[in-house]
């Protein structure tokens, strides 16, 4: 999608602080972090939301979760715990309509989240 913020980040048209990249996903630090570690993990294929994931797309979701595991270990938050979140739709807090996984850690996570 030519007007998608995350597609522009993947293409390099918009700069980001890259944390991880492989053939399926790209991860970067959130510009408005809600925890000491706040990484966004996005598929390189434009998928609007978790509701739009189709049978052939689950490889991207798998790669996103695997990336979260690797990044959590690298950032030193795997031992104490972390949170991963897919925001979906307006009431779910999704502001960019490109599937993305939030990896949050480095502090105690309250429940309910808000």
Average pLDDT, whole number, for the chain?
96
Furthest-apart CA pair in the chain: how many Å? 39
pTM comes to 0.96
pLDDT at residue number 104: 98
In the annotation, is 46 catalytic? no
What percentage of residues in the chain have a pLDDT greater than 90? 96
- Of 38, 98, 100, 102, the active-site residue reads 100
pLDDT at residue number 88: 97
Model confidence band, residue 1 (pLDDT cutoffs 50, 70, 90): low
CA distance 45 to 7: 8
**Residue 108 half-sphere exposure toward CB, CA atoms < 13 A:** 2
Residues 75 and 33 sit within 8 Å (Cβ to Cβ): no
pLDDT at residue number 78: 98
Taking only the tens place, the pLDDT of each residue in 66-102 is 999 999 999 999 999 999 999 999 999 999 999 999 9
Domains of the chain: 5-105 (3.30.428.10)
Provide the 10 A C-beta neighbour count for residue 26. Answer: 21
């Amino acid at each position: 999608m030519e007007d998608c913020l995350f597609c522009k980040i993947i293409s390099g048209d918009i700069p980001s602080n890259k944390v991880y990249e492989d053939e399926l996903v790209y991860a970067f630090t959130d510009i408005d972090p809600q925890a000491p570690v706040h990484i966004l993990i996005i598929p390189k294929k434009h998928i609007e939301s978790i509701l739009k994931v189709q049978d052939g797309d689950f490889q991207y979701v798998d790669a996103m979760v695997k990336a979260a595991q690797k990044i959590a270990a690298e950032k030193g938050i795997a031992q104490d715990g972390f949170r991963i979140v897919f925001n979906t739709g307006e009431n779910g807090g999704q502001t960019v309509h490109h599937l993305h996984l939030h990896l949050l850690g480095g502090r105690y996570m309250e429940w309910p989240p808000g």
